[in-house]
Amino acid sequence: MSEHIIDHYANQIPILPGEYLPAYLARLRKMTCGIEPRRLMSFSGSTQMGKLHQLFPRVASCFAYRPSERERSGALLQEHLGARYWRGFLDERAYKEHVQQVNLKVKSKRSIFDGEELLDSLKPMKFCEHCRDDDIDRYGTPMWHAAHQVTSLYVCEKHRVPLHQFSMEPDKTLLDYPVITNFVAAKSASVQADPLRTWLDVASKQLLKIRTIHNRERIKDIKSDMARAFRAKETPYTMRVNIEYRNAWRSYAADSLNALCPNEQCFKFFLARPSLGLTQQLKQNAPVRHPLIFLLAMKFAEDMVGGNLS
Ligand SMILES: [Zn+2]
């Protein structure tokens, strides 16, 4: 099989250790500006990179699962897309189906988790000032780190300082900011820890430490613990949870999302979806709609009944 042009350039300009994959693709595209984008991007079947900053963007799936990368697709997604944070929330069959569909249907806009478009505002680009200085010294490139982009992670694990957040203008994408330029650094601000962010940060790092198969088992156990905590009654067909818990969950989730992103008005509407109700978070066979929603349900359970689920 002849080498695809993306392989040629990916060898010449390799991804840096821990670099965020969507940002790397944007950087690669910028550094090969003499190459027609249609040729460079044809591995993904489209010149458009699409929505880059999702948990598992289409272009990242096409890049990681291209023929020359098959041997290390999983490792690549783990190091460069924080895959352990989200992959344990899907069973292997659902994951493989998603990859297959996305890679076949070049125009698929399907997100791997429901509601990503609405939670977008919770995902500014993030970086650590110290890591940025280190990367400039070491590589000459102030790259975006994959670990820092995990939705509910707020503190650099290496330097133990709050991450800086940078919100792109509505008409801009990562293609405009492939690295952390001085402009980005000047427009960013660090977000101080509060109890909710600290809890989410710890829970997110825990997910990143554990292999996907073990995360899957752990999530099953947590679902059972939560169901017990809320005295949920599960039959093969239904699950019953006290209405007071269910109502309290909706307002807790709306308040938490608003606290994490005060400008967003649509969370109440978003959380009215049946798939985001408390019952759905407890059922073993219901798919998790978004890791962040599940983490909030865990925190809610801990607050309501006391104790530690993680
Ligand atoms: Zn750092």
Per-residue pLDDT of the chain (310 residues; tens, 9 = 90+): 567 889 999 999 999 999 999 999 999 999 998 888 888 888 887 777 777 878 898 889 999 999 888 899 999 999 999 999 999 999 999 899 989 888 887 666 678 887 777 677 678 899 999 999 999 999 999 999 999 999 999 999 999 999 999 998 888 889 999 999 999 999 999 988 899 999 999 999 999 999 999 999 999 999 999 999 999 988 877 889 999 999 999 999 999 998 888 765 667 777 778 888 999 999 988 888 889 999 999 999 999 887 777 6
Q: Say how many Å lie between the CA of residue 157 and the centre of ligand 1.
A: 7
Q: Say how many Å lie between the CA of residue 146 and the centre of ligand 1.
A: 12
Q: Say how many Å lie between the CA of residue 268 and the centre of ligand 1.
A: 35
Q: Say how many Å lie between the CA of residue 154 and the centre of ligand 1.
A: 11
Q: CB–CB of 7/33 below 8 Å?
A: no
Q: Say how many Å lie between the CA of residue 173 and the centre of ligand 1.
A: 23
Q: Say how many Å lie between the CA of residue 185 and the centre of ligand 1.
A: 14
Q: Say how many Å lie between the CA of residue 162 and the centre of ligand 1.
A: 9
> What's the pLDDT score for residue 201?
97
> What's the pLDDT score for residue 110?
73
Alpha helices in the chain (DSSP H): 5-12, 21-31, 37-40, 58-64, 73-81, 83-87, 92-104, 116-119, 129-139, 182-187, 195-209, 212-229, 243-260, 267-271, 278-282, 291-305
Q: Say how many Å lie between the CA of residue 160 and the centre of ligand 1.
A: 7
Q: Say how many Å lie between the CA of residue 270 and the centre of ligand 1.
A: 34
> What's the pLDDT score for residue 147?
97
Q: CB–CB of 123/153 below 8 Å?
A: no
> What's the pLDDT score for residue 224?
93
Of 196, 299, 232, 202, the residue nearest 308 (C-alpha): 299
Q: Say how many Å lie between the CA of residue 156 and the centre of ligand 1.
A: 5
> What's the pLDDT score for residue 236?
77
Q: Say how many Å lie between the CA of residue 145 and the centre of ligand 1.
A: 9
Q: Say how many Å lie between the CA of residue 207 and the centre of ligand 1.
A: 19
Q: Say how many Å lie between the CA of residue 128 and the centre of ligand 1.
A: 5
Q: Say how many Å lie between the CA of residue 153 and the centre of ligand 1.
A: 12
Q: Say how many Å lie between the CA of residue 149 and the centre of ligand 1.
A: 12
Q: Say how many Å lie between the CA of residue 22 and the centre of ligand 1.
A: 20
> What's the pLDDT score for residue 170?
82
Angle, alpha carbons 260-17-82 (nearest 5°)? 35
Residue carrying the six token digits 């079947």: 45
Q: CB–CB of 105/46 below 8 Å?
A: no
Q: Say how many Å lie between the CA of residue 151 and the centre of ligand 1.
A: 16
> What's the pLDDT score for residue 73?
96
Q: Say how many Å lie between the CA of residue 194 and the centre of ligand 1.
A: 19
Residue carrying the six token digits 């880059």: 52
Q: Say how many Å lie between the CA of residue 50 and the centre of ligand 1.
A: 29
**Euclidean distance between CA atoms 196 and 83, whole angstroms:** 23
The torsion region of residue 133 among left (phi > 0), alpha (psi -120 to 50) and beta comes to: alpha
